[in-house]
Structure 1
């Protein structure tokens, strides 16, 4: 097969030789892919058998097999023994969000880390506390607020509740050193499950002042609960200035 490329000036006539099998391989690949992506061939649709495609395109069976193999590797089709090839069903994917240590996040950027405590109280759980941690009546909690610094700049504001039923050691911890509550908890208490709720908010005046940003600035808020077995450990509200933080989630195909 010869492809002729016409030059803009007279005499600029160039010929590019391509082997028939290489060209047909790409044509089969492109046309089958286009039918799948357009929805013409929906999930579960049977792809024509190799001998049918061989006859349709006038090529070797090896060329057809190679094109279908490439589509399998792209996740567009699946081959079933003795049944043929079918358009693959999309796989459900799940976000994997870890419980990160903010100190490690800051140090990974090459900046010195610091924790600045604002307030700490030990109290009987209020109605709002019980809702945040799903606690029974007469529970006791430690409430801590403060700011994580990256260099001299506020990095993240923290508002945390710790259940004393799950972590009684927290009652004797002042959280006024250079170790934030999250880092301390990761060192002290194993956790078996976590829940993250992510939202975008406009910074209220008190939070804006702590983060040294104008009130109303767009912020990223992560509300996290962790527990071990069926016992809640902590609930924290982390507020990041929107232009200083990115949330990256890794994805993995579902095995279902």
Structure 2
């Protein structure tokens, strides 16, 4: 009978903690009660409490820190590898408020690096934009974007104060081809400052280029702190492409 009781308590404790996390009662960073406290609260063994915390950690709901205890994990946004997702939608999927800040915006003649990024065959004007996307009060993603003004001349008059460059382009400029390049990098000094993370923090970088029938549209580099984002790809056996 003790085995049945322990199993029932395990599910009850697990359900109680999951409910508090999912409802937002225990937000990201909230300290979970220690094993000894859970054992006392539920009149169970420390082993049962430990098994519950281990299961929660494996599911990604909490993170266990040596000598510090267990804490509600920061949510991780997911985006499809082959899709062009709006960052605002990614943030809202985490049930957090979204905002963005235009950190820098300038129009200039394309240099050699710009021509390579956008695959421009001749000198042209580009719009160079840096945005910081926020989830709540915290930086979520750094956007570094070039827009070809030869292909999208109307972008020159847009401030992007009320709508982010990526969202604006998706709604205004049909694209016919896209390319994604995904890599893991350590945050340099300037990126660390803008994302409010430590220099050297592991980051996920998505570099994307899009084209329309009129020519290259944009090249963007999106940098996410590595512990806050995941990429998902769905495919079927024997599928083409």
Q: How do residues 165-244 of structure 1 correspond to structure 2 at under 5 angstroms?
A: 165-177=150-162, 179-229=163-213, 231-244=215-228
Q: How do residues 1-256 of structure 1 correspond to structure 2 at under 5 angstroms?
A: 97-177=82-162, 179-229=163-213, 231-255=215-239
CA-CA distance at 1:229 after TM superposition: 3.0
Residues 246 and 119 from structure 1, CA distance in 2 versus in 1: closer, same or farther, beyond 3 angstroms? same
Measure the CA separation in 2 of the matches of 1:97 and 1:250.
Answer: 9
**1:75-127 CA distance string (max 9 Å, x none):** xxxxxxxxxxxxxxxxxxxx961011111111121111001111000111111
Secondary structure, in 3 states, of the residue corresponding to 1:246? Answer: strand
Residues 172 and 239 from structure 1, CA distance in 2 versus in 1: closer, same or farther, beyond 3 angstroms? same
**1:153-190 CA distance string (max 9 Å, x none):** 1110010000011111100011223x210011011011
Residues 96 and 176 from structure 1, CA distance in 2 versus in 1: closer, same or farther, beyond 3 angstroms? closer
Query: Highest CA radius of gyration, 1 or 2?
Result: 1
Measure the CA separation in 1 of the matches of 2:130 and 2:95.
Answer: 25
* TM-score scaled by length of structure 2: 0.64
Residues 153 and 96 from structure 1, CA distance in 2 versus in 1: closer, same or farther, beyond 3 angstroms? closer
Aligned-residue Cα RMSD (Å) equals: 1.4
Question: In the comparison of the two structures, how many residue pairs are matched?
Answer: 161
CA-CA distance at 1:253 after TM superposition: 3.3
> Does the CA-based 8 Å contact 1:97-1:250 persist in structure 2?
no
5+ residue gaps, structure 2, are 1-79
Secondary structure, in 3 states, of the residue corresponding to 1:97? Answer: coil
**1:186-228 CA distance string (max 9 Å, x none):** 1101111110000000000100111110000000000000111
Larger mean CA deviation between 199-208 and 228-237 belongs to 228-237
Measure the CA separation in 1 of the matches of 2:131 and 2:224.
Answer: 13
Secondary structure, in 3 states, of the residue corresponding to 1:253? Answer: coil
CA-CA distance at 1:255 after TM superposition: 4.5
Which consecutive segments of 4 or more residues in structure 1 shift more than 2 A? Answer: 252-256
5+ residue gaps, structure 1, are 1-94
Secondary structure, in 3 states, of the residue corresponding to 1:250? Answer: coil
